[in-house]
Structure 1
Amino acid sequence: MGSLVSKQVAKRKSLATEKKVLADLKATAGEDFPGSDYHPQDRKNWMSGLDPGKLVVDKIVWPGTHDSGTDRIGVPLVSRPFAQCQSCSIYNQLATGARVLDIRVQGDRRVCHGILATYSVDVVLERVKRFLAETQSEIIVLEIRTEFGKEDPPEFDKYLVEQLGDLLIHQDDDVFQKTVAELLPRRIICVWKPRKSPAPKAGDPLWSSGYLKDNWIDTDLPSTKFDSNMKHLAEQPPASARKYFYRVENTATPQTDNPILCVRPVTDRVRKFSRLFISQAFSRGFADRLQILSIDFIDEAFVDACVGVTHARLEGKA
């Protein structure tokens, strides 16, 4: 018992120290960056507002959501707080401005997070198609992967192609240098990451896992996550020199050695520093690496920050 208490006391001290590190950095360095004061008039149509004819894919800073399909997962007030990473629906995430979705599935085609499952992936696709039907020039990166420890849904690649059809932007390295207008009327870059099934091939309607990369670190310590994200971003080539998307996930994850296991209070430790992360990427000289930023519990300020940098790039200010 004494050893357990000692470990918890040490953990509390580490957490307090790491929170202070980021708070002090924010106080001294600030959160200003090119485009930090920009606010799109219509977040539902922010790509349209930036001129699809000039908006090149590799110049976009894409706002994304982490574990996007968890808004109704688990039992409310019982298991939901331990698995829910988004509180609003897929449609509302897109309407708020998200353009990258992270969907985990299991063998029966239900969306899941760990051991908990929720609605069918049909719900996700229906809401994506509804959003696209209501907009004209918004492009979405839809990542669907088989959850760790789960089986691939049978013939899932064929199912996705059947459901999304002409909306799919086919796997092609040239896409990164094209404008949004050049991709239209196709609207979805769908990255399918099976665990055992064959991966999509060059020219297929779906994209393989190598086109969406990240460096995930599983921690509930905010400065540790912030610094790891910054380190790995700095190691990437500029977005304009890549033939893949690189994602930074501004999230913190509950750990079993800590009594706080609910997602919201843990992820909020780093979530509120997303604008600071962008500011520091500029200050440290590698903001040209920024491409996809994802977050738990998406909000308008986060979307505005990503769109603001994109706007600054179009204006030649970033």
Structure 2
Amino acid sequence: MFAAIGKNLSAAASAVEAEVSKQVERRESISSQEKTLEDLKQSTGTDFPGSDYHPSDRKNWMSNLDPAKLHINQIVWPGTHDSATNEIGVPAITRPFAECQSRSIYDQLVLGTRVLDIRVQEDRKVCHGILLSYSVDVVINDVKKFLSETQSEVIILEIRTEFGHKDPPEFDKFLEEHLGEYLIHQDDSVFGKTISELLPNQRVICVWKPRESPQPKPGSPLWSAGYLKDNWIDTDLPNTKFESNLKHLSEQPPVTSRKFFYRVENTLTPQADNPVLWVKPVTDRIRGFSRLFINQCFAKGCADRLQIYSSDFIDEDFVDACVGLTHARIEGKA
């Protein structure tokens, strides 16, 4: 009996030792990848055409860039990942595991965000996995409040049914009813238009991505899933994500020749096999390298493909980087 107990204890100790070794290697890998990006940042800098531009009014940055000159396919759209998670879950208990933004939808828009990523479940509540936030009505009301206070700002509103959940019943009709006056109808010609050609009323490109319900049809007030694409890389390793983003972006057509939006997400995702499961400390490993990414887009020859650029916990500097590059495109400098 004692021999069996000893054998079990030895096996348990070996398992613990293996797990500790695994986590040490994981931490070393993360540190090494952070250093790789930091070294690149030090050697190349973070300059790019428009990097020194800072909008005087982020709430109205499209208006200030001249809507008559600003084409939809020229814009580098600052976006937020899991946009409506600022009140998700229980504060200090479950919220840190799912919160990707600390600002309200309205405050994100005022800051300069122009692409929103909203996940819903069957009862029209915003969710991230199994954790719940507020009703999607809060999102719609914040969007409409912002639009009522501005004149020339255009928003891409992506709403999708969260993985593992069912579509809200007749959700397309709900969106059309509540946003109808602002909706830009699905039409390939929109990509070549200037903002002023859409004004005064058409100011929201709403992409509805149901899981089981029919996709919006051509010409409808809503846009189908194929109009907003990305390549989601599920990792908590910063250089792995950075290099993968560059690779996938380089495989896209230039913005001037494609009829869909393509998103790059400057984010990281906590992994189940790692003890650090809170979103913020994980995604902070890459957040500081957003300008470096744009710099490297130019170095790798794929800057003409960058279009939607999204972040967790968006801040002023991220917005300024996107607006600055947009300004350079208008001026013919990028």
Q: TM-score, normalised by structure 1?
A: 0.99
**2:83: which partner in 1?**
68
Aligned counterpart, 2:103: 88
Partner amino acid, structure 1, of 2:51: S
Aligned residue number for residue 4 of structure 1: 19
The CA distance in 1 between the partners of 2:151 and 2:27, in whole Å, is 49
Output aligned runs, 1:1-318, within 5 Å: 1-184=16-199, 185-318=201-334
Query: Quick one: distance in 2 between partners of 1:306 and 1:234?
Result: 18
Q: Which amino acid aligns with 2:171?
A: F
CA distance in 1, matches of 2:264, 2:155: 17
Give the Cα–Cα distance (whole angstroms) in 1 for the partners of residues 17 and 54 of structure 2: 52
Write the distance in 1 (CA, Å) between the matches of 2:19 and 2:217.
50
What SS does the aligned partner of 2:48 have? coil
Q: Tell me how far apart the structure 1 counterparts of residues 118 and 303 of structure 2 sit (CA, whole Å).
A: 27
Note the C-alpha offset of 1:285: 1.1
Q: Deviations over 1:214-241 (max 9, x none)?
A: 0000000000000000000000010001
Gapped runs of 5+ residues in structure 1? none
Whole-angstrom distance in 2 between the partners of 1:199 and 1:135: 30
User: What is the letter of the counterpart of residue 280 of structure 2?
Assistant: R
**Aligned equivalents of 1:78 and 1:273: distance in 2?**
29
Q: Deviations over 1:39-88 (max 9, x none)?
A: 00100000000000110000000000000000000111111111000000
Report Cα offsets for 1:157-177 as digits up to 9, x if no partner: 000000001100000000000
**Separation in 2, partners of 1:212, 1:4:** 40
Amino acid of the structure 2 residue aligned with 1:158: K
Which structure 2 segments of 5+ residues have no match?
A: 1-15
Query: What is the deviation of 1:297?
Result: 0.3
Where 1:258 maps in the other structure, the secondary structure is coil
Cα shift at 1:108: 0.3
* Number of aligned residue pairs: 318
Q: How far apart are the structure 1 equivalents of 2:34 and 2:322? A: 24
Counterpart-to-counterpart distance in 2, 1:191 and 1:316 = 30
| Aligned counterparts of 1:26 and 1:114: Cα–Cα separation in 2 | 34
Provide runs of 4+ in structure 1 moved above 2 Å.
none
CA distance in 1, matches of 2:302, 2:103: 32
Query: 1:25 Cα shift?
Result: 0.4
Aligned residue type for 2:49: P
Q: Secondary structure at the match of 1:36?
A: coil
In structure 1, C-alpha distance between the alignment counterparts of 2:88 and 2:249, rounded to whole Å: 31
How big is the shift at 1:13? 1.1
Largest Rg, 1 or 2: 2
Equivalent position SS for 2:181: helix
- Counterpart code for 1:317: K
Cα deviation code 1:220-265 (max 9, x no counterpart): 0000000000000000010001000000000001001111100000
Q: Give CA deviations for 1:90-116 in whole Å, capped at 9, x if unaligned.
A: 000000000000000000000000100
* Residue identity opposite 1:273 in structure 2: F
The letter for the 1-side match of 2:317 is A
Cα deviation code 1:147-194 (max 9, x no counterpart): 000000000000000000110000000000000000112110000000
Q: Which amino acid aligns with 1:11?
A: R
Cα deviation for residue 275 of structure 1 reads 0.5
Identity of matched residues, %: 71
Alignment RMSD? 0.5
